[in-house]
Amino acid sequence: MVLNKLDIPKSLKESMLYSIEAGGKKLRPILLIASFDAYGKDKQKIVAPAMALEMIHTYSLIHDDLPAMDDDDIRRGKPTNHIVFNEATAILAGDALLTYSFDLLATDPRLTDEQKIFLISELSKASGPKGMVAGQMLDMEAENKKVSLEQLERIHALKTGELIRFAIKSGAYIGNATETQLTHLDEFAYYLGLIFQVQDDILDVTGDQAIIGKPVGSDEDNQKSTYPKLLGYEGAVEQKERYLQLAKKALYNANADSSYLMKLTDYFSARDH
């Protein structure tokens, strides 16, 4: 892991590595690689983008778990970063992972200048105030409020969807997909993100804490708007099926060697953690 080699303060490195290595599913890098595989060959080119993406995702989890945010003590079955270290270190580890992801992209010798700028521009948009951070803000503001299905979709499209779109789009871009293919893939990624979130909400109702690695029912405790709350359990499952059909249609239109992406889509829809 590239972070191991950094000459940085020991406690900062330990805190960054703790969350990166906490046994997450690495779904976003896997999606990026799968999307690349559908078009391209030279896998060396996607090492840095996949790592940068996972660092951004991990930073967002560290900050989301802070007492001032979701106040979660457990993540991926382990104590959260601020519990193991302390709040100040967790804030800095998050800031460090976020910032270092752009350093990594800007200096990777396997990427062309044009690719670096595409990736940095897309990743900063997907994760910044127009993307993930906006979703987190809207999600917080929606607590204890009744939101519509449309508002719920918007929150999730920003909070989790934008990084999933980045994964799919940037993998295919580096694999030299055409503009038309990228457009269809982007639609696919949009629905994939929603599938991911519906299933997340469903698992928070029906899941097994030992498998999920975080407490079940925390959405209810936090008065969060969820698909099951809005549509009922059956309604949420039906909604997920609708998204699944739309995702598969868009993937078919993207005209890719997409059997792996198709499998991942089914996995996203049926996952138990």
The yes or no reply on residue 117 touching a second copy (CB under 8 A) is: yes
**Residues 68, 71: Cα–Cα separation, whole Å:** 6
> Is residue 120 within 8 Å of residue 106, measured between CB atoms?
yes
Q: Site for a second copy (CB under 8 A): which residue of 25, 130, 242, 263?
A: 130
One DSSP character per residue, 75-130 reads: ETTEE-HHHHS-HHHHHHHHHHHHHHHHHHHHH-TTS-HHHHHHHHHHHHHHHSTT
The yes or no reply on residue 13 touching a second copy (CB under 8 A) is: yes
Lay out the site mask for a second copy across 192-231 (x = CB under 8 A, - = otherwise): ----------------------------------------
The yes or no reply on residue 9 touching a second copy (CB under 8 A) is: yes
Q: Site for a second copy (CB under 8 A): which residue of 24, 40, 79, 128?
A: 128
For a second copy, the binding residues in 78-97 under the rule CB under 8 A are 86-89, 91-92, 94-96
Identify which of residues 13 and 43 has a Cβ nearer to a second copy in the complex: 13
Backbone torsion region of residue 23, taken as left when φ is above 0, otherwise alpha when ψ lies between -120 and 50, otherwise beta:
left
Identify which of residues 163 and 231 has a Cβ nearer to a second copy in the complex: 163
The yes or no reply on residue 58 touching a second copy (CB under 8 A) is: no
The yes or no reply on residue 77 touching a second copy (CB under 8 A) is: no
**Residues 192, 212: Cα–Cα separation, whole Å:** 20
Identify which of residues 85 and 268 has a Cβ nearer to a second copy in the complex: 85
Identify which of residues 5 and 146 has a Cβ nearer to a second copy in the complex: 5
- For a second copy, the binding residues (CB under 8 A) are 6-9, 11-13, 16, 59, 63, 66, 68-69, 86-89, 91-92, 94-96, 98-100, 102-103, 105-107, 113-114, 116-117, 120-121, 124-125, 127-130, 133-134, 136-138, 140-141
